[in-house]
A and B are shown apart, each in its own frame.
Chain A
Amino acid sequence: MINFIRFIIRYHFFFLFLLFEVVCFYMLVSYNHHHRETFLNSSNKIAASILTVSGSFTEYFSLKRSNEELARENAYLRAMLPENLRETAAQPLNENERDSVNYIYYPAGVVHNSVNKLQNFITINRGARDGIEPEMGVISARGVVGVVRHVSKNYSTVLSLLNTQVRVSAKLRDSDFFGSIAWDGNSVAHAILSDIPAHASISIGEAVVTSGYSAIFPEGVLLGTIDDFELLPGEGFYRIRVKLSVDFRRLTHVEVIEKITSEERLELEKLTLDD
């Protein structure tokens, strides 16, 4: 026993090093694999308020660009005003049908953003007080941005689409074949769409949009366009390189989406799963 203690003391530097590494790796693994609330992330108050300062500078420098994007979105929304739509004879089936899909959009500013890691996060300046909850979708005027991960009172962190942990259900806009899109960690401007079957007809430049099968994003939000594709030998699925429509390096304003009926739907789906 004495010898053992002497051994520990003699090599205390090494054992202390091992102890610290074990603590680090425990945190690394538990933080990444469980959605556990921890105050040690950038939605905590001190870190977020410091990042807000730097975010406000970045925002100033990209004012021109965000103005253009807002103007483009204005034009798009104006085009959707009732008087601009052609009258159709078809009436909605009933009131409930029309109300069944209902989204609320919360505008938010980007406080901090990273693109050069494998796990990229965005911090936004809206939190629980503004009605943001984990697992809500985040989009910008140009397309899908990510999914809310942690929420504090005034801030939230968002798993960027440029995060290898994120997977979004997607489909080809023209042919409705669906698959899932995820980032492979290589290029800031590209992600990989997989699970599109080999018999689907696809072409370069075709738009890829959200499928609406997950309760997070509405159907038809733009993800990007097909840049390149190859048929995986022996698997029967395409591996499609999608050029993302959002430029993650210049992100200043986003919108967080709340889907009103999603809870009801999740409950129903849970029932089916439990059977």
Chain B
Amino acid sequence: MINYLGKYLINFLVIVFIQVLILNNLNLGGYINPWLYLLFILILPVEIPDWMLLLIGFLTGLLMDMFLNTIGMHASATVFLAFIRPFLLRFFAPRDGYEPGSLPIPSHFGVGWFLKYVSVTVVAHHIFLFYVEVFNFDTPLLTLWKAIVSSVFTIAFIMVAQMFGATKSSRS
């Protein structure tokens, strides 16, 4: 775990900077904003202690909220993401379980596996996030539609970002 620390810290800074300085300024069709920063929570080691996962999710979300003036909104959604991640990882587990030290990234489990894993987690996160954002059920279908469309963009950005990072993070 310790030898990952430096690598994850750099990962974190790069992802947050790309999110805050570039992606938050994109305006795709009015309400679409790709949330690339979820990638950081998604690629944490499989064996990370669950309390640490929740804490990292909380702090990452809170940092995003700080930049977006939406205190608590992203934090609640990333905590939700951190909560469902272990269950989904168990669901998508290979037949003989996870080897010690494996990371949920394409170079360990393949692009197809990663796409499945990212799609389910991101869609769940976005649905949670968008309902928290509107904070009512007046227009449930419109909110759902916005969440799904935004998820497609987030998933696309995450897959592209992983392709750039894939050569560096080969299995050690």
- Asked if B69 is at the interface of the complex by the 8 Å CB criterion, the answer is yes
* Given known A54-B25, A249-B27, contact A16–B71 (CB-CB < 8 A): no
Given contacts A41-B71, A116-B31, A116-B33, 13 further A-B pairs with CB under 8 A are A13-B54, A20-B54, A20-B75, A24-B61, A25-B76, A27-B71, A28-B71, A42-B68, A114-B24, A114-B68, A117-B68, A117-B133, A188-B27
Which of A28, A38, A51 counts the most chain B CB atoms within 10 A?
A28
Whether the Cβ atoms of A58 and B25 lie closer than 8 Å is yes
- SS class, residues of chain B in contact with chain A: helix
- Asked if B47 is at the interface of the complex by the 8 Å CB criterion, the answer is no
Partner among A38, A47, A116, A249 whose Cβ is within 8 Å of the Cβ of B71: A38
Whether the Cβ atoms of B66 and A44 lie closer than 8 Å is yes
Mind listing 19 A-B residue pairs with CB under 8 Å? A13-B54, A17-B80, A17-B82, A17-B83, A23-B75, A24-B75, A26-B72, A29-B72, A38-B71, A40-B62, A40-B71, A41-B69, A41-B71, A53-B21, A54-B21, A115-B30, A117-B68, A188-B27, A249-B27
Partner among B61, B69, B75 whose Cβ is within 8 Å of the Cβ of A119: B69
Residues of A close to B82: CB separation below 8 A: 17
- Asked if B127 is at the interface of the complex by the 8 Å CB criterion, the answer is no
Interface residues of A, CB < 8 Å — how many? 38
Chain A proximity mask over B97-140: 1 for CB below 8 Å, otherwise 0: 00000000000000000000000000000000000111000000
Partner among A26, A28, A116 whose Cβ is within 8 Å of the Cβ of B32: A116
- Asked if A102 is at the interface of the complex by the 8 Å CB criterion, the answer is no
Whether the Cβ atoms of B27 and A47 lie closer than 8 Å is no
* Given known A20-B79, A50-B21, contact A12–B51 (CB-CB < 8 A): yes
Interface residues of B, CB < 8 Å — how many? 35
Chain A proximity mask over B26-54: 1 for CB below 8 Å, otherwise 0: 01001111000000000000000011001
Shortest C-beta distance, B156 to chain A (Å), equals 17
Whether the Cβ atoms of A21 and B66 lie closer than 8 Å is no
